[in-house]
Amino acid sequence: MKSNLSLQIYNFSKIISACMIAVSIFTIGCNSSNHYSTNKMTESINNQTNVNKVDSSLQNMNDDSLKKKLSPELYLVARQKGTEKPFSGEYWNFKEIGTYYCAVCGNPLFKSDGKFESSCGWPSFFEPISKGSIIYAPDSSYGMQRTEVLCGKCKSHLGHVFEDGPPPTGLRYCINSVVLHFDKTTGQKKQD
């Protein structure tokens, strides 16, 4: 009887844990891991410290000016660090060949050959177009420890980076579609 009760408690705690994980994924977004046990991301970020100096002359608009210029959805994500709903953005399941730019300032961010299907509901990339195209910031919102990804030119919020991506980097840049502008490369076929 005692072992049966222990088994029931153990199973109940597994169910509760699974439910809490599912709710976190759907309500907070693209966060599959709260802990970074390897040094892969830290090394990647540290290697870019000297490269990611933002030239303030590139983007001098204050938030009031940007609020008038940007759509409400873009302003919410880019300047107020919002998140679009999963599976709702234009580029989450997009397979065209080309380059993704920051929708606020036009900075090149990612190439389509760095995009992969992660099933998280947002566009996912395993590497940025260049070391200086994005910058990183610690994010402890919602009680989690994550790494925020920002545009290297205008510092607009793009999304987050996680350590569950494919080779060669092992990283997953989980990006909101609304902060991306896509430019199709002509003369090439769609990705499969």
Non-local CB neighbours of 50 within 8 Å, separated by 6+ positions: none
174 catalytic residue (yes or no): yes
Question: Where do runs of H (alpha helix) occur along the chain?
Answer: 2-28, 40-47, 63-69, 72-80
CA distance 28 to 172: 16
Q: How many CA atoms lie within 13 A of 167 on its CB side?
A: 0
**Contacting residues for 9 by C-beta, under 8 A, at least 6 apart:** none
Annotated active-site residue in 102, 120, 154, 174: 174
For the record, the structure tokens of 155 come out as 């510092």
Q: Quote the DSSP letter at residue 189.
A: P
* E strand map for 112-163: 115-116, 124-125, 134-139, 146-151, 157-162
Positions marked catalytic = 174
